[in-house]
Amino acid sequence: MGITQAILDTLPDGVVRDVRIGLHWTAAVVEVEGEVRCGLAATLRRQGGHELGPAVPRAGELESYSGRELADLALAPEPELSSVGVAALNALAPRNPRAWREGNAEEILARLGEHKRVALVGHFPFVQRLRPKLGSLDVIERDPREGDHPESAAPDILPHADVVAITGMAFVNHSLEGLLGLCSPESTIMVLGPSTPLSSVLLDSSVALVSGSIVTHIDQVLRAVSQGAGFHQVHQAGVRLVTLARPGFEAVLA
C-alpha cells in the first residue's frame, strides 16, 4: 500500500464546504466532526492545451463530493485534481496539536545539516540563506534554476545525502515514494511545505520530521488563494507552520 493511500485510510469523512483552485495554491474547506477546517496544496497544472478537455471536469460541483471522495482525488493522475485531493486530505487529517511544535523548516534544516551533506528536493525561497549553514547542499528541482540539479540527478545524489528534505509537493505529483526509495537507510528525512500532510503515517515510514501548515483564518486564506497569492501572502493571511517529529528527533525542534 502506498503512503498516500495509507493516510487516506486514516481520514474521517466530512462535508465539503468550499474549494478554491488558485494560481499557486489550492484550498479545500470541509466540516468534519463539528469543526470547519481548511487544507492547502500547491496548484499543479498538466502540460497541454484545451484539446485535452476540462482540467477539472466537475468544476462548480465539487461541493457535491463527500470529504473522503474529494480527498481520494489525491491519487488522480491529473495534477489539478490531485491538488484538490491533497488539499482535502490535509483538511480532513486528524489533528493532534499536542504533538505539534511551531517549526521553521529553515531553522530545523540548519540544525540537522550542520557539517553534513544535505539534499533538498524542491527549490525553496530560503536556499541561499541556508546554504552557508550546511556542510553542503544539493538542490534537486523539476524546473531547475542556476545552481540546481535536474530531477534526473536524484538517483546520483539522494543515496549519498546525510539529510534529505523533500517538498510536500511530491504528494501532488506522486513522486514521494520514488524519492524515499532512493534515500540511504541511515539518512534523516524530512518532508516539508504547505502541501505536506501532518500525519503520523509518515513518521511510521522512513520520514523523521514532517513540517506542514495549519490554516487559522479560513476566510482570509480563501480570499488570498482565489486572488493568486503566493505562499508568503497566504501565510500572512492566516497560516501556522508546525512540525511533527518521530521520537528521538524532538530536540531539533527546540
Is residue 1 pLDDT above 90, yes or no? Answer: no
Residue 30 DSSP label? E
Is residue 204 pLDDT above 70, yes or no? Answer: yes
Query: Distance of CA 41 to CAs 80, 135, 146, 183, 247, Å?
Result: 10, 31, 26, 24, 27
Distance of CA 52 to the CA centre of its chain: 27
**Element of type H or E holding 18:** strand 15-21
Distance CA 40, CA 27 (A): 5
pLDDT at 250: 87
Distance CA 239, CA 27 (A): 12
Is residue 123 pLDDT above 90, yes or no? Answer: yes
Is residue 243 pLDDT above 80, yes or no? Answer: yes
pLDDT at 33: 87
Distance CA 142, CA 119 (A): 14
pLDDT at 53: 78
Is residue 109 pLDDT above 70, yes or no? Answer: yes
Is residue 49 pLDDT above 70, yes or no? Answer: no
**DSSP letter for each residue of 74-116:** GG-SSHHHHHHHHHHHHHHS---GGG-EE--HHHHHHHHHTTS
pLDDT at 104: 84
Condensed to tens digits (0 to 9), the pLDDT of residues 212-237 reads 999 999 999 999 999 999 999 999 99
> Looking at residues 4-33, what average pLDDT do you find?
98
Nearest Cα residue to 188 out of 116, 105, 98: 116
pLDDT at 55: 86
pLDDT at 133: 96
> Looking at residues 131-144, what average pLDDT do you find?
96
In CATH terms, the fold of domain 3-97 is Enolase-like; domain 1 (3.30.390)
Any idea where the domains of the chain sit in the sequence?
3-97, 99-212+245-253
At CB < 8 A and 24+ separation, what contacts does 200-207 make? 200/96, 200/99, 200/244, 201/3, 201/6, 201/7, 201/10, 202/3, 202/7, 202/244, 203/244, 203/245, 203/246, 205/3, 205/180, 206/180, 207/180, 207/246
**The three three-digit cell numbers of residue 101, written as one number:** 511544535
> Looking at residues 22-44, what average pLDDT do you find?
97
> Looking at residues 75-81, what average pLDDT do you find?
96
Is residue 253 pLDDT above 90, yes or no? Answer: no
Residue 51: pLDDT band by 50, 70, 90 thresholds?
A: low
In this structure, are residues 224 and 215 in contact, taking their beta carbons and an 8 Å threshold? Answer: no
One-letter amino acid at 95 equals R
Give the CA-trace dihedral at 103, 87, 235, 231, to 10 degrees.
110
pLDDT at 47: 77
Instruction: Identify any residues that bridge with 15 across adjacent strands, giving them in sequence order.
Output: 31, 66
pLDDT at 50: 62
The CATH classification number of 99-212+245-253 equals 3.40.50.11590
For the chain, give the mean pLDDT: 95
